[in-house]
Structure formats: structure tokens, C-alpha cells
Structure 1
Amino acid sequence: MRTKLRALLSASAATATVVGTMLAGAGTAHAATLYGCPSGAVCVYAQDQPASSSTLTHAYYSYGAHNLSNQEGWHWVINNQTGGASATMCYGYNGGNCTGTTIAAGSWSAENLSPINSIRLNRP
């Protein structure tokens, strides 16, 4: 399933890169929406679904920990924060045991959220 999810996201990566390059060339101050994830947010998508605006289930904007509930199985997590901020998967609630994947700004990851209990948005 992870390979299938990666293939779905990769198929659109070229389009997003072209659009992002065009916007950067126009001198925009904000990152473009990335697979439906608004600029400045970290987004979680529906289980086993491609990342798009129609499958977006959660968007987090503030730094710090955000607890998850009822998130099982594989989900796309996209970090569309600006200024180089990262996002880290945490095994404990309230940002405890943050030894999971760290996603750099402008990046994404297919994550098994079954053992993940919170996502921490990190200042650059």
C-alpha cells in the first residue's frame, strides 16, 4: 500500500514543482497550496487515499504538539509550513517521545499513524 501511495503522490510532483517554480518566479511571498494543504500548515489526509483537497482531514498551523485521535493505518502527511519549519511524528501524547519521522518544510511522508499519538510542529 505504501508503494501505491508514493506512486500516486509522485505522479503529481512534477505538476506541483512547475506551479511552485512559476509562483516563485512571480515573486509570491507565500508557498502555494500543496495537494490541498494550505500554505503554513501541516496536513493529514484520509487513510490509504491520495493526497488532495478532497481527502484532507486535518490541518495544523500553530507550533507545538497536536494530539491525534482515531488515526489508524497509512496516511500522507504534508508539511507546507513556510520559513523552514519542520514537523515530527511523536509516539506520546502532547509531543512526548518524538522519535518518529521528521518532515522538512515543503516535503511529505507516507506515515503509519497507528502508533503515532501527536504531531509536533517545530520552529525553524
Structure 2
Amino acid sequence: MTVRKLLRGAAALALATAAMTAGGTTQAHAAAASWANCPYGAVCIYPQNQNPAVSPSHVFWAYGPHRIYNQFGYHWVLNNQSDYALAHLCKSVGTDCHDSINSQEGLYFNLDPINSVTLSEWRPT
């Protein structure tokens, strides 16, 4: 099992736990709905070492690179965009991207080396 799959599994467990704690019941994530306070169509970053039950500290809507400043340590990054939209974690503004997050997925990631989040549409070849 890769570290990425392990982190995704941990993310799913943490989100399910947060949903059960907040709402008392479990529900499937509905399309076109807010997810852990992240609006549908957006990519959200949460405060350091916080679970996604709190409000995000950053919300990005538009395709393209978005600079992030002074984000250190581990943060949840949720991609609540529509199908085929990706979020990339990049060391430079829109370049040197090494981790992608598919739509409707989240990643708990050390943002120390990251200085931008790039939103894009996946296009099959």
C-alpha cells in the first residue's frame, strides 16, 4: 500500500468521523453540496493540524495557480470540484507539481514545500 493510498484512507476515516460527530448520522456525500464546510465547486485548505469540521482558511474557485503563503505543517486539502477537476500541489507557482487530488477527494499533506495550488480540468487523451 502506498503512502498516498494510506493517507486517502485516513482522510476518508477522519471525514466520516467528523460527519458523524457533527451530524449524529452518516450520509453519503451528495453531488453539488458542501463537503466539510467546503462549497461545491471549490478547493479548500484547512488550518494546520485541524480536521475539516472547522471552516477552511483558503477557498479557491477558478482554474489556474493560486499562491499560498505561510502554510506550514500538515493541512487537509479537499477538492470539492465537479467531476474531472483536479487540484495540484506545487512547489512553484503552477509548476513543479507533484501531488494531484481528484475531485471529491481529500489529502492530508505537509505544505512546507508547497507555495501554490493549481486547479485544472482533467482531459482524457
- Normalised TM-score (structure 2): 0.77
1:82-97 → structure 2 map (5 Å cutoff):
82-92=82-92, 94-97=93-96
In 2, Cα distance between equivalents of 1:74 and 1:82: 25
More helix by share: 1
Aligned to 1:8: 14
C-alpha deviation, 1:84, in angstroms: 1.7
Aligned to 2:3: none
In 2, Cα distance between equivalents of 1:16 and 1:86: 24
Runs of 4+ in 1 over 4 A off after TM superposition: none
Percent of aligned positions with the same letter in both sequences? Answer: 37
1:1-124 → structure 2 map (5 Å cutoff):
6=11, 7-12=13-18, 15-17=26-28, 19-20=29-30, 31-52=32-53, 54-92=54-92, 94-99=93-98, 101-124=99-122
Aligned to 1:26: none
C-alpha deviation, 1:16, in angstroms: 4.6
C-alpha deviation, 1:61, in angstroms: 0.2
Aligned to 2:23: none
In 1, Cα distance between equivalents of 2:84 and 2:33: 15
**Root-mean-square deviation (Å):** 2.0
In 1, Cα distance between equivalents of 2:88 and 2:27: 23
CA 1:84–1:97: 2 relative to 1, 3 Å: same
Query: Between Structure 1 and Structure 2, how many residues are aligned?
Result: 108
- Paired residue type of 1:37: C
2:18–2:51 CA contact under 8 A, matched in 1: no
Provide structure 2 residue ranges, at least 5 long, that are not aligned to the other structure: 1-6, 21-25
C-alpha deviation, 1:13, in angstroms: 6.2
C-alpha deviation, 1:10, in angstroms: 3.9
- Normalised TM-score (structure 1): 0.78
CA 1:115–1:12: 2 relative to 1, 3 Å: same
C-alpha deviation, 1:55, in angstroms: 3.4
- Paired residue type of 2:112: S
